[in-house]
Amino acid sequence: MKILDNYMAKEFIKTYLVILTAFFTIFIVIDVIDNLPKLIRAGASIDQSAVYYLLRIPQLFILTSPITVLLAGLFMMNGLAKYNESVAVRSAGIGIKRMVLPILGIGFLIFLANLVIADRLLPLAESKREYFYKVVIKKQTLEDKKIRSKIHYIGHDQSFYYIGYFNGYINQMKVVDITRFSPKTGEITEKISAAKALWKDDYWLFLDCDIRTFKDKKPVSFNHYANTKLSFVDVTPKDFVQRTSKTMSMNYFELLDYINSRKKVGDEYLEELVDLYTKITYPLSNFIILLFCVPAASTNTRSKKKGWVFLSGILICLVYLSTLRICQSLGYNEVLPPWLAAWLPNFIFFSLGTYFVYKAEI
């Protein structure tokens, strides 16, 4: 059994690497034809262009891995059926499910590799590629994400905030206006205006601050403070610092922190939440897609269905990947909840793939 497992694993890995190399070559050649003239016109040298494409490798790996896994699985299963190796294995009393177990195990390892690369290597490569293209090649300056103006957001207690200007380098807000409401009646209970606010250790110190209180829509009191602390303000300077809008340039926990920050300051975060779930569900497609290769191993070499099984596997893969993108778009547009938009295709096709594996044994 160990000999069979080693043989299956070795053949699959060899096929996978050959197809992956071919895909990389094709994609790079096509991209060079399309974009290299643009890079050169932007001022890139040959060495800089080489670095630019080197930084694209993690992205290409993540994008092409599912179809690479599928083709590697189909070609290998087709080879097993073609040379009657699957027949010999089954004659020895070994079932199809047990025979393909090493391949499914490798598929799971490829899923884990994609998960690590997508979460660690890809964000680093994409952020460096953006910097390299804009700063090194085009000689542009990156947008300053620590300076913001005209910020509106709703606080945790439904208070309405307006910050005229925020400087993340010195953690300072200017022209601060806070309106607080009664949770029962919805009427204004307090109006706070401050010329500026400074971040001191773990709280905001409001300077030149006016606090007005209201009851039954009428002013009750007015107090002016040279400086004061407002304990209900729950945002920190990092909540105001804008990050890149490209979710690929952030790992899972950075994106989660970014979403929480956008929640606090009242910015939209629905698309980012869908992308957060997709960081797990898309790599998982590398394992699920292998399930559709198994029927090819049980097809007789003389069977007219052999070509249809091979073609069906490719079509199912394309439908699967298209469904992932369609559901992602539905999540972006609030048609589906973010978690469902990310997980629904995997649930459907995992169930369908498991059924295919079961039928292959019959």
pLDDT at 300: 54
Q: What pLDDT does residue 51 have?
A: 84
Residue-wise pLDDT tens digits, 268-318: 788 889 999 999 999 998 999 888 877 766 655 455 555 566 677 678 778
Residue 117, amino acid: I
Confidence (pLDDT) at 283: 92
The reported pLDDT for the residue numbered 253 is 86
Q: Which whole-number Å values give the CA distances from 146 to 108, 167, 239, 243, in the listed order?
A: 41, 6, 10, 9
**Residue 208: alpha-carbon gap to chain centroid:** 44
Q: What is the pLDDT of residue 92?
A: 63
Predicted confidence band of residue 82 (pLDDT cuts 50, 70, 90): low
In DSSP terms, 204 is beta-bridged to 199
Mean pLDDT calculated for residue range 138-164: 76
Q: What percent of the chain has pLDDT over 70?
A: 86
- Between 205 and 138, name the one with better pLDDT: 205
Residues near 154 by Cβ (< 8 Å), separated by ≥ 6? 160, 161, 266
CA Rg, the chain, in Å? 28
C-alpha angle 273-274-280 in degrees, rounded to nearest 5: 100
343 has pLDDT over 90: yes
* Mean pLDDT, rounded, for 111-135: 86
Residue 191 · residue 214 · CB < 8 Å: yes
Residues 63-80 have pLDDT tens digits of 888 888 888 888 877 777
**Per-residue model confidence (pLDDT) at position 289:** 86
Mean pLDDT score of the chain, rounded to an integer?
81
Pairing of strands 203-215, 172-181: unpaired
pLDDT at 120 over 90: no
Instruction: Please state, for a pLDDT cut of 90, what percent of the chain lies above it.
Output: 17
pTM score: 0.72
- Enumerate residues 6+ apart whose C-beta is below 8 A from 309: 295, 296, 299
Q: In which order are the strands placed within the sheet that holds 172-181?
A: 147-154, 160-167, 172-181, 188-200, 203-215, 218-229
**Could you give the CA distance from residue 86 to residue 79 in angstroms, rounded to a whole number?**
9
pLDDT in tens, 221-246: 899 999 998 888 878 887 777 655 57
Query: What is the CB neighbour count within 10 angstroms for residue 354?
Result: 13
The residue ranking higher by pLDDT, 304 or 110, is 110
Q: What is the pLDDT of residue 174?
A: 92
User: What's the rounded Cα separation, in Å, for the pair 166 and 119?
Assistant: 30
Question: CB neighbours (10 Å) of residue 128?
Answer: 16
Predicted pLDDT of residue 195: 92
